[in-house]
Amino acid sequence: MTDETDNRLLLLAPQDNVYVLRDQIEAGETIMVEGRRIAVPRRIGLGHKLARAAIAPGDKVLKYGAPIGSATAPIGLGEHVHTHNVKSDYTPTYTLDEARREHGDAQ
């Protein structure tokens, strides 16, 4: 229901439990998700995902109507869904996040 969800959030398939951002959401914004007001503490970039429902650890994350991994932590409605709370069911995801922290590159 678009009037209850921010129009920057794109739903790819009806059974999905995540939305995809069609534009970034800035830190401090309050957005509507499924009729609820959600405060966004940190900036979330274009192409990233946000929870459409509460997701429990071990639950499958569904995008395009297909499982794209499993939650590793409780994820609340409207929270950023990414490598900090989801893992692959195939091979681990490699990032430069640790190197960035060490070298002070905020990106």
Partner 1 sequence: MTAIMGFQRADGRKGIRNIVAVAYLVECAHHVASRIVAPTPEQAHVIGFPGCFPNDYAQRMMERLCTHPNVGAVLLVSLGCESFNRYQLEQVVRDSGRPVETLIIQRDGGTRATIEKGQAFVARAIEQVEAVRRVPMDVSDLVIGTVCGGSDGTSGISGNPAVGRAFDRFVAEGATCIFEETGELIGCEDIMAARAATPALAAELRTSVDKAARYYATLGYGSFASGNADGGLTTIEEKSMGAYAKSGQSPISGLIKPGDIPPGGGLYLMDVVPDGEVRFGFPNISDNAEIVEMMASGVHMTLFVTGRGSVVGSALAPVIKIAANPHMYERLSEDMDVNAGRIISGSATLDEIGAEIHDLVLRVAGGEPTKSEELGHTEFILTYKSFEPIGPSCLPV
* Binding region for partner 1 (CB under 8 A): 10, 12, 20-23, 45-49, 61, 63-64, 66-69, 81-83, 86-97, 107
Q: Provide the pairing of β-strand 36-39 with 49-51.
A: unpaired
Instruction: Scan for tokens 């569904």, then name that residue.
Output: 62
> Considering beta carbons, is residue 1 or 107 the nearer one to partner 1?
107
CB of 40 to partner 1, least distance (A): 15
What is the phi/psi pair of residue 98, to 5°?
-65, -45
CB of 82 to partner 1, least distance (A): 5
**101/55 Cα distance (integer angstroms):** 28
> Considering beta carbons, is residue 37 or 105 the nearer one to partner 1?
105
What is the phi/psi pair of residue 57, to 5°?
-55, 135
> Considering beta carbons, is residue 27 or 96 the nearer one to partner 1?
96
Vertex 11: Cα angle to 5 and 17 (nearest 5): 90
> Considering beta carbons, is residue 58 or 92 the nearer one to partner 1?
92
